[in-house]
Every structure is written in structure tokens, then in C-alpha cells.
């Protein structure tokens, strides 16, 4: 297969040895023209300045990529631009690296972008790195010592405070082997991270190849991708198919986390994809216009961050305008707080993801970490309390905090909102349902997990709605369950109304007859004999849905009560809605009446006008039943009588 990216001298034939090498990503950082690209060339044999303008000007403008192997590691290198105008590219390159190389020229020392790049790496949560002093062939040992002391002062209190300082020369090659060994020593200290199984790749390059179509590249954050897979293009939420995958110019059957990938996509034009878009496992991530986060104002910032201030948020390979909503009016330099971030454009952010904040004057002023990647429009009453719980390192506390904020959690909430795999979230929630004082209930009908507190609140709201509706429909004391559910469709947690009804039935606060429910304390109390007769009569009527027994026939069916007493029971059933009277001698169940109504509707679809005999035959009834039923339908405007024929009425 033709390479999706140009091969270089550093590319090695793919084989089993590549699979055995542990992949790790290195990112360079440092001031412009401090020798980052030359250093990468010395390590890999690859010149990462690929653009004509980069070669002409001798500086990096866009991200460059290369790799080299030192057993047992395969290091992929992201070479980032050092110029202040290209900080967005720098952030994109540093967003998911494992090891940072802070490059400082020995003849220049620490410069403005050295400090800014270090601050960005710190804000992005990078934890491992090496300091490289380049151009050491141009300075003597005394100057090396002075620069080293300056660097130690610079990195004090950062993740590089104990990092080795390796002097190198891009001209002579001095120190390159020592640097490789230092990289291996640092890499050996990096624990294997427990990554989510879902695939995610922020796109940093998009181009097209003749005969192949659209190709995107990026560093795989988590999961894996293989030819034939279906992935989702975000934030567009469009599904596309992976035609082919390569890793460092070689065909691959699969590319997973910590590796660079070039992915050939089918069915999508290059103009439909942009740097900053993402590819991900379908259905896992949802673009959002709002996130909750913990943010920090850099100690070197010239002024504090303000409530409602507009900044640029850099995350992954994208940047978007964002407005801050803080817990206080100002966030002073060096301080941290919780924030509600409102974005101008939809973006995909997930729990724990780091980002950078830059001002309109192109100054890096702060950054932070997402603690809720999909809060929706729900109002947060106590932002600090919510963010403290959402950002906790213990997943059980994060789950409890989310269930305090909203009624329930779905399986899809795990990855983006909690930073947990679906399986892990399910296991934790299942454990919370079996605890002695269980605070979570699994609603099997909706596949959600609802907190007991919210279920109780929902139950109280339900009782209020039923009480108000019964008053409006007096003297009825029972309502169709479907009516109650529809009346609560705008409730917070409306999908759990059926579960709440079942809980109220179990507690005895509601009673149910057939498909009707009502408040237990508003029902007529029946004697034992009345309940026995009721349990006899109602099944008789329901068993003959089309031709139920008349009231006289019901009197004969039991000798346990007088006709007057039976009539009182039937009247009670009509008030409760368990029976509907079509005449003073005939009552139907709601289900039986709806069955006949459906048959009537089908009959009118065949003929615009029908006779009483045709209704009787079509609905399989007797004259004793069809006459009162037809008169009832006439009164209800279900049918319209014109002499001996009837037509469909407006209520049919």
C-alpha cells in the first residue's frame, strides 16, 4: 500500500518487533530558534520542517513528527514551534505527550517562550520530562554551569524540578547518546496508564492523496482503531469508515494509545474536516457549549482573571472562544478556583482533560482541568461544592456528586462526565444499590441509575399532580396511568415516572385497578363482601369485551348482594373510571370500548356510510349491544346519524 505519509530514513519495516516496543510520545518545548528541530533530526534522522516556508525561514511554523526506537521503547516525537505566534500549534502538540523535552540554547539561556512553554506544560498536566541544553559546543564549562543554575531556578516547583539536564550539540552530536539513555530512564519510571477502551484521536493534519482520498493524522489518546472500523467525526457527529491505518509510514492492522496514526477515511471530503476535529468511538462523546472546570490563574499573569471575562480556550488540537463564570469576581495570579465555562462553538471535552486559557493579547494567562464535560443547561446552585465533588480522585464521590446534581446517571455518562469506562461505572453503581443504606436504584426500564433522594422527590410531585387532576375530574377518583405519565412529561427525571408510580403503589400511597391509579387515601373503603363481589363482576365484564353482560344479568350472577347494592358498586366503578356507562343498563371497560372504537374506525375507512346492521356485523355484536352503543357514540360525536345510516363524527 502506498504510504499515507512520506517515509523517511528513520522508518523501519513493520513487524512483530514494533508491536513489542512500548510506545511513548515525546514533545519538544522551548523558545524559537533554540535548536528543537535540529535536536529531533539528531535523534531520528528526520527533518520535521516539511513546509516550504519553514525551510525558507529556518523556523518551525507547524507541528512536525518523527520517531526512533531504543529498546524497549518506541518514541514518537512531536516537534512544536517556538514562536509566540504559534502557541496554538504548541498546545496542540503538547496536549497528550508522555515526556516533555524543554530545550534551552546554552548561548541564549532562558527566554520568554521558554517560560511560557514550561507554564503550558505544567497546566496541561505533563508529569515527566528532561531539560536539554543545546549548542553546548558554543559555550565553555563555566557558562554551562551558569545556564544549568538558571534552569534549576526556572523549573523549581514544577514537574521538571528533579529532571536531568543534558548538554547536547546539534553540530557535533555531543550528548545525543546520553540524551537517549536519559529518555529511557525517564520512560522506565512512567507507569502504564489505565486508559479507556474508547477510541479518541484529536486531528492535527488533514490532506488528500491521489487515488486514496482523505487522510487525517493525530496522536491516539485512548482506545484503538483498525481498518474497517466505523468512527464518529466530532463535533459534526458524522459517522465515517476507516479505509486504512498507518503508523510512521507503515501499514498497520491496528493503532492504539500513545501512537501516531495516519487514517484514510472513506466517504468524507477533505473540506469537511479541519484541524481541531476529532475521531472517536461512535456514540460515546457529545459536543457541548459548556463545561465545569477547576482553573488556575498563572502566577506570572499581568492581571487577575475576571468573572465573565472572554478568553481563548486551547484543548487538544483546537481553540475556541470561551466566557468565564467564576465563583468570585476576580481570580488573582497564582490562585485556583472553580469555573463554569461557556463556549462560543461546540467542543468535545471529557473529565480530567487539561486546557490552556489565553487572552486577546495572545498571553497565556491560565489553564485548568475539566471536572464535568457535559453539564447541559442544568443550573448549578453551589458551583464550588459541585466542582469539588466532580473533580474528586475517588470515582464513588464523583458519582455521588453527579447524582446530587441530577436525578439519574445513564451508561453513557461514564466516559465524558466521570472519566470512567462504562463497565467500571456500572460496577460501582451496582455496588451502591446493594449497600445496606442503598442510595441508588437501578431503573431497568430506562437503563438509568436514579438516586433514592430524587426518586422520593419525584414521588411527592406525582402525588401532587394526581391530587390536582382528580379534583378537576371529580367525581372520578382513579386516572389512567398513561394520563398521569403524560402530565409529568416535563418533570426533571420524567423517564423515571413509571418507577416512581411503582414505588408509590408498593408503599400503599397509590392504588391501582386495571390500568387506572389513584390516591389511596381518597378511595371509598369497601367491605370484605363488597370487594369479593367487585372481584367477581369486573372480570365478567372484561372477559366479554364486545358484548358484556347487562346490569340485570350481573344482578343474577351473584346472590350475595341486592340489585341496589350492586348498582352502587357499578356507580362507584364508573366514578373511578374502571367502567364506562353507555346506557343505564350497559357498562363497558375502557379497553373494551377502545377495541370497538378501533373496529368502527376501520369500518369507516372501507365505507363512508354504514347502517346499524353493518356496524353490528363488523364489530361482532348483538342488537342488544349495538343499539345503546350506537346511541352513545352519537351523543359523543364519534358518529353522526343521518336517518338509517351513520357517518364518522369529529371525535372518532
Q: Is the pLDDT higher at 62 or at 420?
A: 420
Q: Of the candidates 304, 302, 387, which has an alpha carbon nearest to the alpha carbon of residue 341?
A: 387
200-280: CATH superfamily: Translation factors (2.40.30.10)
> Cis omega before residue 475 (within 30°)?
yes
Domain 453-522, what fold?
A: Arc Repressor Mutant, subunit A (1.10.10)
**Interval 126-138 mean pLDDT:** 94
Q: How far apart are CA 482 and CA 494, in angstroms?
A: 13
Instruction: For the chain, give every residue range classified as CATH 2.40.30.10.
Output: 200-280, 288-389
16-188: CATH superfamily: P-loop containing nucleotide triphosphate hydrolases (3.40.50.300)
Does the predicted model carry a pTM greater than 0.85?
no
Binning pLDDT at 50, 70 and 90, where does residue 499 land?
very high
Architecture of domain 525-652: Orthogonal Bundle (1.10)
Lowest mean pLDDT among 46-55, 229-238, 353-362: 46-55
The H or E element that residue 402 is part of is helix 395-405
pLDDT averaged over every residue in the chain: 87
Listed in sequence order, the residues at least 6 apart from 320 whose beta carbon sits closer than 8 Å to its beta carbon are 312, 313, 343, 344, 345, 347
- pLDDT of 145 over the 90 cut: yes
- pLDDT of 300 over the 50 cut: yes
Domain 288-389, what fold?
A: Elongation Factor Tu (Ef-tu); domain 3 (2.40.30)
Cell of residue 334, nine digits: 497564582
**Interval 380-393 mean pLDDT:** 94
**What is the per-residue pLDDT for 16?**
40
Binning pLDDT at 50, 70 and 90, where does residue 504 land?
very high
Q: What are the residues facing 343 on neighbouring strands?
A: 322
**What is the per-residue pLDDT for 89?**
58
**What is the per-residue pLDDT for 8?**
34
> How many CB atoms are closer than 10 A to CB 445?
10
Task: Give the residue carrying C-alpha cell 463554569.
Answer: 340
Q: What are the residues facing 208 on neighbouring strands?
A: 214
**What is the per-residue pLDDT for 377?**
86
Q: How far apart are CA 49 and CA 82, in angstroms?
A: 13
Instruction: For the chain, give every residue range classified as CATH 1.10.10.10.
Output: 525-652
**Interval 430-449 mean pLDDT:** 85
Q: How far apart are CA 314 and CA 356, in angstroms?
A: 5
DSSP for 514-562, please give it. TTEEEEGGGSPPPPHHHHHHHHHHHHHHHHSSSSPPPHHHHHHH-SSS-
**What is the per-residue pLDDT for 571?**
84
Cell of residue 270, nine digits: 477533505
Highest mean pLDDT: which range of 362-376, 479-493, 575-589: 362-376
Q: What are the residues facing 321 on neighbouring strands?
A: 312
**Interval 27-44 mean pLDDT:** 87
**What is the per-residue pLDDT for 1?**
42
Binning pLDDT at 50, 70 and 90, where does residue 438 land?
low
- pLDDT of 584 over the 50 cut: yes
DSSP for 82-96, please give it. -SGGGHHHHHHHHTT
- Residue 501: which region, alpha, beta or left (left: phi > 0; alpha: psi -120 to 50)? alpha
**What is the per-residue pLDDT for 52?**
42
> How many CB atoms are closer than 10 A to CB 651?
10
Binning pLDDT at 50, 70 and 90, where does residue 57 land?
very low
**What is the per-residue pLDDT for 15?**
39
DSSP for 366-392, please give it. EEEEEEES--TT---S-HHHHHHHHT-
Beta pairing class for 354-358 and 278-280: unpaired
Segment 216-225, tens digit of pLDDT? 998 888 899 9
Binning pLDDT at 50, 70 and 90, where does residue 618 land?
very high
**Interval 43-64 mean pLDDT:** 53
Segment 336-358, tens digit of pLDDT? 999 999 999 999 999 999 999 99
Instruction: Decide if 246 contacts 8 (C-beta within 8 A).
Output: no
The H or E element that residue 606 is part of is helix 590-606
| Cα 628 versus chain centre, distance | 57
SS (H, E, C) 312-359: EEEECCEEEEEEEEECCCEECCCCEEEEEEEEEEEECCCCCCEEEEEC
**What is the per-residue pLDDT for 283?**
92
Amino acid at each position: 500500500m502506498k504510504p499515507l505519509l512520506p517515509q523517511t530514513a528513520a522508518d523501519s519495516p513493520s513487524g512483530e518487533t514494533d508491536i513489542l516496543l512500548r510506545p511513548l510520545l515525546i514533545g519538544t518545548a522551548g523558545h524559537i530558534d533554540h535548536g528543537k528541530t535540529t535536536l529531533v533530526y539528531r535523534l531520528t534522522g528526520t527533518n520535521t520542517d516539511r513546509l516550504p516556508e519553514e525551510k525558507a525561514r529556518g523556523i518551525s511554523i507547524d507541528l512536525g513528527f518523527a520517531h526512533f526506537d531504543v529498546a524497549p521503547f518506541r518514541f514518537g516525537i512531536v516537534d512544536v514551534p517556538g514562536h509566540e505566534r504559534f502557541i496554538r500549534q504548541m498546545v496542540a502538540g503538547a496536549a497528550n505527550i508522555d515526556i516533555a523535552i524543554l530545550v534551552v540554547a546554552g548561548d541564549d539561556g532562558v527566554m520568554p517562550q521558554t517560560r511560557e512553554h514550561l507554564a503550558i506544560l505544567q497546566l496541561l498536566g505533563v508529569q515527566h520530562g528532561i531539560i536539554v541544553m543545546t549548542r553546548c559546543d558554543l559555550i565553555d564549562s563555566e557558562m554551562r554551569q551558569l545556564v544549568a543554575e538558571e534552569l534549576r531556578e526556572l523549573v523549581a516547583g514544577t514537574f521538571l524540578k528533579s529532571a536531568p539536564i543534558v548538554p547536547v550539540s546539534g553540530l557535533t552530536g555531543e550528548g545525543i547518546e546520553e540524551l537517549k539513555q536519559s529518555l529511557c530512564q525517564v520512560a522506565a519510571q512512567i507507569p502504564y496508564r489505565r486508559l479507556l477502551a474508547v477510541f479518541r484521536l484529536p486531528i492535527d493534519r488533514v490532506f488528500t492523496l491521489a487515488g486514496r482520498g482523505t487522510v487525517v493524522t493525530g496522536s491516539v489518546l485512548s482506545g484503538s482503531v483498525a481498518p474497517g472500523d466505523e468512527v464518529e467525526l466530532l463535533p459534526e457527529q458524522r459517522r465515517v469508515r476507516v479505509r486504512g491505518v498507518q503508523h510512521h509510514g507503515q501499514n498497520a492492522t491496528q493503532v492504539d494509545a500513545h501512537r501516531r496514526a495516519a487514517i484514510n477515511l472513506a466517504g468524507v471530503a477533505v473540506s469537511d474536516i479541519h484541524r481541531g476535529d476529532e475521531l472517536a468511538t461512535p456514540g460515546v462523546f457529545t459536543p457541548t457549549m459548556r463545561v465545569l472546570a477547576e482553573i488556575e490563574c498563572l502566577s506570572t499573569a499581568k492581571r487577575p482573571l475576571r468573572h465573565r471575562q472572554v478568553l481563548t480556550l486551547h484543548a487538544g488540537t483546537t481553540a475556541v472562544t470561551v466566557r468565564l463564570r467564576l465563583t468570585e469576581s476576580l481570580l488573582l495570579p497564582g490562585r485556583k478556583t472553580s469555573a463554569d465555562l461557556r463556549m462560543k462553538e461546540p467542543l468535545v471535552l471529557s473529565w480530567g482533560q487539561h486546557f490552556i486559557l489565553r487572552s486577546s493579547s495572545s498571553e497565556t494567562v491560565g489553564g485548568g482541568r475539566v471536572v464535568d464535560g457535559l453539564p447541559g443547561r442544568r443550573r448549578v446552585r453551589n458551583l464550588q461544592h459541585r466542582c469539588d465533588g466532580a473533580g474528586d480522585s475517588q470515582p464513588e464521590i464523583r458519582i455521588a456528586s453527579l447524582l446530587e446534581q441530577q436525578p439519574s446517571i445513564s451508561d453513557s455518562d461514564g466516559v465524558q462526565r466521570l472519566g470512567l469506562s462504562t463497565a467500571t461505572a456500572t460496577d460501582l453503581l451496582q455496588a451502591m444499590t446493594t449497600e445496606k443504606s442503598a442510595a441508588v436504584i437501578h431503573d431497568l426500564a430506562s437503563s438509568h441509575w436514579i438516586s433514592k433522594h430524587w426518586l422520593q422527590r419525584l414521588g411527592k410531585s406525582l402525588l401532587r399532580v394526581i391530587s390536582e387532576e382528580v379534583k378537576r375530574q371529580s367525581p372520578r377518583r382513579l386516572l389512567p396511568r398513561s394520563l398521569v405519565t403524560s402530565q409529568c412529561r416535563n418533570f426533571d427525571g420524567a423517564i423515571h415516572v413509571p418507577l416512581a408510580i411503582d414505588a408509590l403503589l408498593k408503599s400503599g400511597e397509590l392504588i391501582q385497578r386495571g390500568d387506572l391509579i389513584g390516591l389511596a387515601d381518597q378511595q371509598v373503603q369497601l367491605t370484605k363482601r363488597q370487594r369479593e363481589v367487585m372481584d367477581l363482576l369486573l372480570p365478567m365484564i372484561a372477559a366479554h369485551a364486545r358484548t358484556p353482560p347487562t346490569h340485570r344479568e350481573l344482578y343474577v350472577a351473584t346472590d350475595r348482594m341486592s340489585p341496589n347494592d350492586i348498582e352502587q358498586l357499578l356507580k362507584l366503578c364508573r366514578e373511578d373510571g374502571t367502567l364506562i356507562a353507555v346506557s343505564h343498563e350497559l357498562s363497558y371497560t375502557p379497553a373494551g370500548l377502545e377495541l370497538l372504537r378501533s373496529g368502527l374506525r376501520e369500518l369507516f375507512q372501507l365505507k363512508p356510510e354504514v347502517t346499524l346492521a353493518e356496524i353490528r356485523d363488523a364489530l361482532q355484536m348483538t342488537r342488544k349491544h349495538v343499539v345503546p352503543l350506537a346511541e352513545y357514540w352519537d351523543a359523543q360525536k364519534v358518529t353522526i346519524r343521518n336517518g338509517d345510516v351513520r357517518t364518522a363524527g369529529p371525535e372518532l
